[in-house]
Amino acid sequence: MTEGPLSVDTLVERIVSSLAPLRDFPMPLTEVLGMPVAEDVVAEVSLPPFDNSAMDGYAVRAADVASASPEAPVHLPVVGEISAGRAAHLALSPGTAVKIMTGAPVPAGADAVVPYEWTDRGVARVRIERAADLGANIRRAGEAVRSGDLVVEHGTVLGPRHLGLLASVGRATVRSRPRPRVVVISTGSELRDPGTPLGHDSIYDGNSYLLAAAARQAGATVYRVGIVPDDVRSFTEALSDQLVRADLVITSGGVSEGDYDVVKEALRGLGTVWFGQVAMQPGKPQGFGVVGEDEVPIFCLPGNPVSAYVSFETFVLPALRTLMGRTPASRPPRRARLTDPITSTVGRRQMVRARYGTDRGGAFVTPVGGHGSHMIGDLASANALVVVDEESSGVSAGDMVQVLCLDEDF
Ligand SMILES: Nc1nc2c(c(=O)[nH]1)N[C@H]1C(S)=C(S)[C@@H](COP(=O)(O)OP(=O)(O)OC[C@H]3O[C@@H](n4cnc5c(N)ncnc54)[C@H](O)[C@@H]3O)O[C@H]1N2
Ligand code: MOO
């Protein structure tokens, strides 16, 4: 007896609720771009840590240069020099100036910096032609960040600016999660590696590249195993070899009704992987479960390239995001005006390749290519998927539809 097709939402819910985020650790800053931080980060230093100069020039007392003008310049003896990172503990006596470079600590007693451009750049004595306000060109300690400030909130997805800030407050590591390690295996005796000759009955393995890149884009560390022939022993061996380094496994091919559907044949006996149909087009045959002692989640995606990709987007992406501790798990749909009609089969959610854009009328989306799940050429020109509900038999041009924008982070 075969069970009826599962709804997309039921399978997504099953997947997401069976997974938990990987354990968090103190991770080097260089490893955590795009990962959520698993702690509230509080600054332990102030920025700037000390009052420092915003300009190359002379540290002075504002009162000493208050009368300076081009017609009546003020002359001050230059009693020392302070550059960034090479600062003696100087104090400024009234009626003197100290040469100072941008970023260098302002000496005690100075309350303004006169930039070089207002002076003759004198070495022993400087001629100052403009008055400086009290505090001019001095960056105060703690002006940018105060010690004790919350600088990055728990759950923030770390981008370049967060990482710059974390390093600036002296953090070498931050609690986050390792990237999920994903193993990608293509099955099919007809498959050949790109760059090798094709036989009369072979095709190139596009899927392992497609799926590996999609997983990497989602934030995973990916091991692309490549091609395994339609042979249960070869597949079982390849899988058990790879399990030690996997937090998640993706296979493509061998899950439908064929006589050589190797993935299904190899895994069904374990009783830990569900195989069945999902009410989705493309991407009807699916397998999902766990394998090995560590119960590594495995996604057995259909071999047709578009089906494999749509299945990744629908089922694997939410799983990877759950392992990374990112929310929401699934891509939130946008709404857009459909420019051309779409027909759909009632009872299956149709995922239609499309191009999303905006014009004067707002967001629009145009289907590209047909429904064929082998039409990889159309897949490459799409940047979106239109989601047509299970109950719908089609959508008319001009209707508002739900769209997944594939290249957007969320
Ligand atoms: N009798 C039935 N046949 C099929 C059904 C069905 O319900 N009953 N479902 C069809 C649907 S829908 C899909 S999707 C496919 C899924 O098939 P498999 O997952 O078993 O995949 P394969 O048979 O191995 O391959 C399908 C197709 O994709 C090509 N392929 C496979 N791997 C790659 C790769 N790495 N790179 C590029 N192309 C690949 C393969 O050559 C086949 O053309 O089953 C239908 N059949
Ligand atoms: O589901 Mo298949 O993925 O319809 O071509």
Q: Which of 255, 304, 352 to mutate to test the pocket of ligand 2 (most atoms within 8 A of CB)?
A: 304
Burial tier of 160 (Cβ tally within 10 Å: 0-12, 13-18, 19+): exposed
Whether residue 96 is contained in a domain is answered as: yes
Question: In the predicted model, is pLDDT for residue 373 greater than 90?
Answer: no
Question: In the predicted model, is pLDDT for residue 129 greater than 50?
Answer: yes
Clarify whether residues 60 and 41 are in a common domain. no
Clarify whether residues 313 and 399 are in a common domain. no
Clarify whether residues 231 and 291 are in a common domain. yes
pLDDT of 232-270, one tens digit each? Answer: 999 999 999 999 999 999 999 999 887 778 999 999 989
Average pLDDT over residues 269-295: 96
The rounded Å distance from CA 148 to ligand 1 centre is: 57
Whether residue 89 is contained in a domain is answered as: yes
Average pLDDT over residues 15-20: 98
Q: How far apart are CA 19 and CA 42, in angstroms?
A: 30
Clarify whether residues 151 and 101 are in a common domain. no
Q: For CA atoms 231, 233, 237, 240, give the dihedral sign.
A: positive
Clarify whether residues 123 and 215 are in a common domain. no
pLDDT of 153-181, one tens digit each? Answer: 999 999 999 999 999 999 999 999 999 99
Average pLDDT over residues 58-87: 94
Whether the model pTM is above 0.90: yes
The rounded Å distance from CA 307 to ligand 1 centre is: 9
CATH, residue 275: 3.40.980.10
Q: Give the chain's domain count.
A: 4
Give the domain-ending residue among 292, 324, 356. 324
State the residue range of the domain holding 343: 334-405
The rounded Å distance from CA 372 to ligand 1 centre is: 12
Clarify whether residues 220 and 119 are in a common domain. no
Clarify whether residues 314 and 349 are in a common domain. no
| Res 3: pLDDT | 66
- In this prediction, residue 4 has a pLDDT band, given cuts at 50, 70 and 90, of confident
Clarify whether residues 29 and 162 are in a common domain. yes
| Res 86: pLDDT | 78
| Res 1: pLDDT | 46
Of 284-293, 309-318, 361-370, give the lowest mean pLDDT range: 361-370
Of 70-79, 82-91, 384-393, give the lowest mean pLDDT range: 82-91
The rounded Å distance from CA 305 to ligand 1 centre is: 8
Asked if 87 contacts 105 with a C-beta cutoff of 8 angstroms, the reply is yes
**Does 259 contact ligand 1 (Cβ within 6 A)?**
no
| Res 297: pLDDT | 98
- In the predicted model, what is the mean pLDDT of the chain? 95
Ligand 1 atom closest to the CA of 373, numbered from 1: 14
Clarify whether residues 183 and 235 are in a common domain. yes
Clarify whether residues 158 and 93 are in a common domain. no
Give the domain-ending residue among 324, 352, 374. 324
Clarify whether residues 251 and 270 are in a common domain. yes
Average pLDDT over residues 118-130: 98
Q: How far apart are CA 218 and CA 277, in angstroms?
A: 25
Q: Which of 256, 264, 299, 373 to mutate to test the pocket of ligand 1 (most atoms within 8 A of CB)?
A: 256
Q: How far apart are CA 302 and CA 253, in angstroms?
A: 5
Ligand 1 atom closest to the CA of 283, numbered from 1: 14
Whether residue 329 is contained in a domain is answered as: no
> In terms of residues, how long is the chain?
410
- In this prediction, residue 277 has a pLDDT band, given cuts at 50, 70 and 90, of very high
Q: H or E element: which one contains 362?
A: strand 362-367
CATH, residue 345: 2.40.340.10
The rounded Å distance from CA 304 to ligand 1 centre is: 5
pLDDT of 21-31, one tens digit each? Answer: 999 999 999 99
Whether residue 410 is contained in a domain is answered as: no
**Residue closest by Cα to atom 4 of ligand 2:** 282
Whether residue 3 is contained in a domain is answered as: no
Clarify whether residues 131 and 270 are in a common domain. no
Asked if 301 contacts 313 with a C-beta cutoff of 8 angstroms, the reply is no
Please, where are the H alpha helices in 197-256? 207-217, 232-242
